[in-house]
Amino acid sequence: MVTSTKDEIKGTFHEVKGKIKETAGQVTNNPDLETEGKAEHRAGKVEKKVGQIEKVLEK
């Protein structure tokens, strides 16, 4: 599997995982978990974009 595709997949995984943590933090009224989830969600978006850019540059 190409590195760019792996980055996209990992980015999507981190986005979803972060969103779940964020929601769990809101439901349980845990601001630390909510903040951690937001950070992971954003990091996942960045990682996904990096994979997309790498894919374009490979062509």
Number of residues assigned to the chain: 59
Does the pLDDT of residue 20 top 90, yes or no? yes
| Domain residue spans of the chain | 3-58
Which pLDDT tens digit goes with each residue over 5-16? 888 999 999 999
> Does the pLDDT value for residue 59 go beyond 80?
no
Q: Token pair 């981190």 is at which residue?
A: 14
* pTM for this prediction: 0.84
DSSP annotation of 29: T
User: Are the C-beta atoms of 26 and 43 separated by less than 8 Å?
Assistant: no
* pLDDT tens digits, one per residue of 24-40: 999 999 999 999 999 99
